[in-house]
Amino acid sequence: MIETIIHVLVIAGLVVSAILVFYFRDLLAAALASGLFSFLISLEFYILQAPDVAVSQAGIGAGLTTAIFILAIRSTKRYEEDV
Amino acid sequence: MRMSKIVRFSADMLFGAILIFGFYIIMHGHLTPGGGFQGGAVVATGAALVIVAYSYEEVLGMIKKAGLMLQESAGLVMFAGVALIAIGLGTTFFFNFLANSGSLFGMSVPYGPNSGELNTAGVLPLMNIAVGIEVWGGLAIVILYMLSGISKAEEV
């Protein structure tokens, strides 16, 4: 029972963080929400009994990709503009 | 351009812990989930944390590009070298010549469910260490080149 509740919470967090990535105008906050999405999907992999994939997802998705996004935002503008 | 003092202090504090955790994943690759690639990616995440927090000039004082390239090549040479030693011993390519030999990583696996003896599995831990060294250097140099392009863009 408690496993199902955690599972539903993680999936709800996935949907919420994906919507947050779409709605943030601050690109640094959007990159961090994308990192949160990667972290939650690594938790989901762990719940689905694939700890091997979860470790690589946490390292590559939540760590390195977010670092590359932050480096790119440092060299360009932080806020999204209306076109 | 560098980040604030809070970010730099946090990166300094977290770097050691992330490094130790990555080495743990690499060394226990044949026993627990994870392995050379995953552990190397975790260690490279620690390096990326420091690279993101400091400016390009400060990072170049800490990490050398040639060192990371050498590290990547050394991992590949070690991986192929361990596989070639097996041919030199008169067996097939990638033959596990260290398993159950009683020397380095040569202990027999005890009976029962995964008992977590680190000193087992023959050449597999050596392969994991080689892949870990290579992935660490490769992923760290990707981030470092990203930062070097940015520092040129900031000057313009």
Provide the angle, in degrees to the nearest 10, between the axes of the packed helices A2-23 and A27-47: 160
Interface residue ranges in chain B relative to chain A, Cβ cutoff 8 Å: 1, 25, 33-35, 37-38, 41-42, 44-45, 48-49, 51-52, 139, 142-143, 146-147, 149-150, 153-154
Across the strands, what pairs with A79?
A: A26
Report the predicted TM-score, pTM, of the whole model to 2 decimal places: 0.81
- The pLDDT value recorded for residue B151 is 63
Give me the mean pLDDT over the A67-77 stretch.
82
Q: Where are the domains of chain B?
A: 5-155
ipTM at complex level: 0.76
Alpha-carbon gap, residue B80 to B40, rounded angstroms: 18
Q: Which residues of A touch B135 (CB under 8 A)?
A: none
3-state secondary structure of A22: helix
CA distance B32 to chain A (A): 9
Name the DSSP letter for residue B122: T
- The pLDDT value recorded for residue B155 is 52
| Cα diameter, chain A | 48
Nearest CA in chain B to A49: B33
- The pLDDT value recorded for residue B156 is 47
3-state secondary structure of B1: coil
| Residues A3-58 pLDDT 10s | 889 999 999 999 999 999 988 888 889 999 999 999 999 999 998 989 888 888 88
Sequential pLDDT tens for chain B (156 residues): 667 888 889 888 999 999 998 899 898 888 888 888 888 888 988 888 888 888 777 888 888 888 888 989 999 999 989 888 888 888 888 888 877 777 778 777 778 787 777 888 888 888 899 999 999 889 888 888 888 777 665 554
